[in-house]
Amino acid sequence: MRSAGCGHEGTTVTRLRCADWSCKGTTVTRMCSAGWSCEGTTVTRMRCAGWSCEGTTVTRMRSPHHAGTDCPKENKNVHALEGVFSAACTLEETTLHVTDNMDLHILDHRLRVISISKNGLVNFTHPLIKLIFLRSRTRCKFFSLTETPENYTVVLDEEGFKELQPSEHLMVEGSIWLPLNVASNGNASSSSQAVGVTKIAKSVIAPLAEQHVSVFMLSTYQTDFILVKEKDLSVVISTLEEEFNIYKEVGGESVPIHCQDVPNGLQKNGKEAIQPTVHPVVIPKNQFCVMSLDPDTLPSIATTLIDVLFYSNSPKEDAANQGLDCIKFFSFSLIDGYISLVMDTEAQRQFPADLLFTSSSGELWRMVRIGGQPLGFDECGIVAQISQPLADSDISAYYISTFSFDHALVPEEDIVSVTDMLQHQRKDPAAS
């Protein structure tokens, strides 16, 4: 069902794109936008809940903009929540907030991007286990660890960074990175149903690429973080403030911010657009899933997760993977209390089936790994190059940058068309 413009009470709908009006009692597997009230609705996956939705059972809610994070927790019915919100309003108190703009939040984390060498990981087991499992012992609020065949990429805030001792096995990217997060408004009349980086391709990724702002993407189960260098912040704001209401999170408060508020404001990079490099891509054969976990059950998978993260890097296991054209890729993140895991189905089998959860459709994803040589941190347009055509085709994509390469995850059923698209792009870069 594309649009439920009027009341369809009692209907069972697998995919509902827009529920502009009331649809009380409806069972919806996937709801794109619940612009109005939908009391009593059972929604497996809800993109935007712009209005009140008292009594609704939502398995996955991407953007409950007005509701705020505190409500769904009280409601206890939302398993995963995309977007980070500071307002502690209740669902009942929600009021209409009409705007043509979407909201962009500059989150209150100053991040470092680090690589740990493969054989150097043993030296960092102690701080990493602390950061992953012992929340009471650290003030780190943003932590991500991704294993690739080359190395381990760690993205973490300054509190977490303090835990890591300098070492020959550690490479620290020189910049401070700030994570941005797009919160779709309830009434944002997006025509796209795609999730992930695809939905911000035209509004965020492309404009930043045009302004020569390098981005480091980190998609998680809950949301997509766009990391930009702190020094580029004024350019970022001046570039995006036409399209977005921009807020800076400061100590739990969302403060509106404008270009003139930022030192070196109003400044754009202003370089001429140059033809972006078309990087070679690899499409490994393994299938990936993007999962989450109740933080309270993290101890239950501790030994398995420790085994997979810290002890699975034997030459034998790697060789077995390589032989099958598979890639070693495992990502764990714990950001503002939310856990996200990206792993292939081989790794997934090691975990108890009842603790990790993914969207009810149980999608599997295929990887497009971008880059022949390490990409570095200065080149612009890499994410744009792949996310724009995905947006044109309305294909969802998670996107995870690492220290050396970038990784897009697209739905398994779309991998053929994505491959075709990329081959076309390589032959005719100017067309993209």
Report the residue from 125, 267, 345, 350 that binds a second copy according to the rule CB under 8 A: 125
Q: Across 192-232, where does the E strand assignment appear? A: 215-219, 224-229
Q: Decide whether 11 or 123 has the Cβ nearer to a second copy.
A: 123
Applying CB under 8 A, does 126 fall inside the site for a second copy? yes
Torsion over CA of 200, 201, 204 and 208, rounded to 10 degrees? 160
Applying CB under 8 A, does 123 fall inside the site for a second copy? yes
Applying CB under 8 A, does 304 fall inside the site for a second copy? yes
Report the residue from 7, 256, 280, 299 that binds a second copy according to the rule CB under 8 A: 299
* Helix (H) / strand (E) containing 388: helix 382-392
Q: Decide whether 7 or 337 has the Cβ nearer to a second copy.
A: 337
Residue-by-residue DSSP string for 228-249: EEGGGHHHHHHHHTTTEEEEEE
- How many other C-beta atoms lie within 10 A of the C-beta of residue 161? 17
Amino acid at 193: Q
Residues forming a β-bridge with 239: none
Taken in order 409, 192, 429, 216, is the CA torsion positive or negative? negative
In angstroms, what is the minimal distance from the CB of 302 to a second copy? Answer: 4
Report the residue from 230, 307, 325, 413 that binds a second copy according to the rule CB under 8 A: 307
321 contact partners, CB below 8 Å, separation of at least 6: 327, 328
Segment interacting with a second copy (CB under 8 A) among 101-109, 178-186, 294-302, 415-423: 294-302
Applying CB under 8 A, does 303 fall inside the site for a second copy? yes
CA distance 23 to 165: 56
Report the residue from 278, 298, 326, 355 that binds a second copy according to the rule CB under 8 A: 298
In angstroms, what is the minimal distance from the CB of 157 to a second copy? Answer: 19
Applying CB under 8 A, does 129 fall inside the site for a second copy? yes
Applying CB under 8 A, does 137 fall inside the site for a second copy? yes
CA distance 398 to 217: 9
In angstroms, what is the minimal distance from the CB of 125 to a second copy? Answer: 4
Applying CB under 8 A, does 313 fall inside the site for a second copy? no
Q: Decide whether 99 or 165 has the Cβ nearer to a second copy.
A: 165
Segment interacting with a second copy (CB under 8 A) among 225-233, 252-260, 298-306, 367-375: 298-306
Q: Decide whether 140 or 409 has the Cβ nearer to a second copy.
A: 140
Applying CB under 8 A, does 310 fall inside the site for a second copy? yes
- How many other C-beta atoms lie within 10 A of the C-beta of residue 274? 9
Number of residues counted as binding a second copy (CB under 8 A):
21
Check residue 86 and report its DSSP letter: -
In angstroms, what is the minimal distance from the CB of 303 to a second copy? Answer: 4
Q: Rounded to whole angstroms, what are the CA distances from 342 to 100, 121, 326, 331, 349? A: 34, 19, 15, 5, 13
Amino acid at 283: I
Residue numbers at the binding site for a second copy (CB under 8 A): 121-123, 125-127, 129-130, 133-134, 137, 298-300, 302-304, 306-307, 310-311
